């Protein structure tokens, strides 16, 4: 009798398993869906799951409602199978209340980020189906690299202006200029988070207000650098100002790390609409709205600087001091005021570069300005340090060179080649493309 009772229980369980597998939430699928939440929430430690449910209309889908910060959100994951299916762990669709349904490319990147397998029998996307080869594809690929290089060149050019303005008037290099870019990027990222909380992240007036605030703050930092540090060493013809600049670099880096931590800030991208420019042979050249706005911003800032240097008393004083500080002082130019304002303008333009880095690239931290600063210095040297047009030209050339190298060769050697280019210019053309020979300073 006990044996018959056990057999009867096993038969009933076998008959009930199909029905049980079709109801309730699959614990493993829910766990996989929860694993994706940190990809959409920067503060994963503050996420609290409220409820998990299976869609009655789609048993393969799991919806999770959770609380993050001050708001409630949801994520919906649809799997390729359920119950005992082989693909029950393969995510084939993800949607959230903030982004809607993810595109195939976004879903692929999410799978790679989370280490999830794709569905084994997933139909190929239209972009992965074979297309007729076109002789224009190599040319279109090169055009896409040129489009991508525009933004990089703008970042290097804006920061190179900061280096070249200070060198042009003092004959000294302020290595701490890259840290002003870091400050601009960090402030932009924090302001972007505040705008997102208020629902104003993508509004042009709010973003312009952030840009003005960031540039004003770093302009004050640049002015303070000269007033408190570099003015005291102005009469020296040693490497003391350069060593002081290295000290300022460490001060800004470590101060930012201690105040804000070593975490990366990832502001949500703005104006990220993608536009197709030209297509042939299955390859499409695209550009983002943000790229066009960055080019416009860089052009406007360059035009503003040209107007300051050629149409204002400050510009005339700057050019006089760049030619001969002693003679300018004898003619009544306030050298201290001119140099301090030059540091302020250079700091503001460095912050504009950080603004672009934060909103276009993201991932900013206390170390952001270090490598970018040295690359911008390389751009200034290539273009001719001391020349504002040369700074923009050097930034554009370095951006093109770096981007095309990454597109056609091993990306791991990108920085090696960039600084190798700097070394070559220092050896064979030390004054750069548009620079002039200097006889004073470091």
**Distances from the Cα of 129 to the Cα of 40, 81, 125, 281, angstroms:** 30, 24, 7, 12
Confidence of residue 111 (pLDDT cuts 50, 70, 90): confident
Minimum mean pLDDT among 30-39, 54-63, 319-328: which range?
54-63
pLDDT value of residue 439: 52
348 pLDDT exceeds 90? yes
Minimum mean pLDDT among 77-86, 125-134, 280-289, 396-405: which range?
125-134
Kindly report the backbone phi and psi dihedral angles of residue 316, in degrees, each rounded to the nearest multiple of 5, phi listed first. -65, -40
pLDDT value of residue 170: 85
Closest to 340 (Cα-Cα) out of 368, 308, 318:
318
Mean pLDDT across the chain, nearest whole number?
Answer: 83
pLDDT value of residue 48: 79
Q: In terms of C-beta distances under 8 Å and separation of at least 24 residues, what long-range contacts does 30-36 make, across chains too?
A: 30/62, 30/64, 32/77, 32/79, 32/89, 32/91, 32/116, 33/62, 33/64, 33/75, 33/77, 33/91, 34/64, 35/114, 36/75, 36/77, 36/91, 36/94, 36/110, 36/114
User: What percentage of the chain has pLDDT greater than the value 70?
Assistant: 85
435 pLDDT exceeds 60? yes
State how far the Cα of 155 lies from the Cα of 376, in Å rounded to an integer: 8
pTM of the model: 0.70
Q: What are the tens digits of pLDDT across the range 115-144?
A: 776 665 554 444 445 556 677 788 888 998
Cα dihedral 83, 85, 88, 91, rounded to 10, equals: -130
């Amino acid at each position: 009798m006990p044996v018959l009772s056990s057999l009867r229980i096993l038969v009933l369980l076998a008959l009930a398993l199909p029905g049980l597998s079709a109801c309730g939430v699959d614990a493993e699928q829910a766990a996989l869906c929860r694993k994706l939440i940190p990809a959409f929430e920067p503060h994963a430690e503050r996420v609290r799951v409220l409820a998990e449910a299976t869609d009655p209309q789609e048993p393969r889908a799991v919806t999770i409602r959770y609380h993050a910060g001050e708001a409630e959100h949801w994520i919906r994951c649809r799997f390729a199978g359920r119950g005992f299916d082989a693909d029950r762990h393969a995510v084939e669709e993800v949607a959230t209340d903030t982004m809607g349904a993810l595109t195939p490319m976004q879903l692929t990147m999410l799978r790679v980020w989370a280490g999830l397998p794709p569905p084994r029998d997933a139909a190929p996307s239209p972009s992965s189906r074979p297309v007729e080869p076109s002789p224009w594809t190599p040319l279109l690929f090169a055009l896409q690299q040129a489009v991508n290089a525009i933004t990089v060149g703008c970042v290097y050019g804006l920061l190179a202006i900061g280096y070249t303005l200070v060198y042009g008037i003092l004959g000294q290099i302020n290595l701490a200029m890259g840290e002003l870019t870091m400050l601009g990027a960090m402030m932009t990222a924090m302001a972007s988070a505040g705008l997102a909380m208020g629902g104003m992240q993508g509004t042009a007036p709010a973003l312009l207000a952030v840009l003005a605030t960031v540039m004003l703050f770093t302009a004050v930092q640049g002015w303070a650098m000269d007033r408190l540090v570099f003015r005291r060493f102005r009469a020296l013809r040693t490497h003391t100002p350069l060593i002081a600049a290295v000290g300022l670099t460490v001060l800004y880096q470590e101060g930012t790390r201690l105040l804000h931590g070593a975490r990366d800030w990832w502001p949500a991208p703005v104006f990220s609409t993608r536009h197709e420019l030209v297509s042939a042979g299955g390859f499409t050249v695209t550009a983002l709205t943000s790229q066009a706005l960055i080019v416009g911003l860089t052009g406007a800032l360059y035009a503003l600087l040209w107007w300051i240097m050629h149409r204002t008393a400050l510009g005339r004083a700057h050019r006089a001091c760049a030619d001969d500080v002693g003679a300018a002082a004898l003619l009544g130019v306030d050298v201290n005021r001119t140099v301090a304002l030059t540091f302020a303008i250079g700091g503001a333009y460095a912050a504009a570069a950080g603004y672009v880095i934060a909103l276009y690239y993201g991932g900013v931290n206390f170390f952001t300005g270090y490598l970018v600063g040295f690359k911008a210095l390389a751009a200034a040297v290539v273009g001719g340090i001391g020349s504002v047009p040369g700074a923009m030209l050097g930034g554009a050339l370095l951006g093109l060179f770096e981007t095309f190298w990454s597109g056609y060769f091993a990306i791991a050697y990108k920085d090696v080649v960039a600084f190798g280019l700097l070394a070559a210019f220092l050896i064979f053309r030390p004054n750069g493309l548009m620079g002039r020979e200097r006889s004073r300073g470091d």
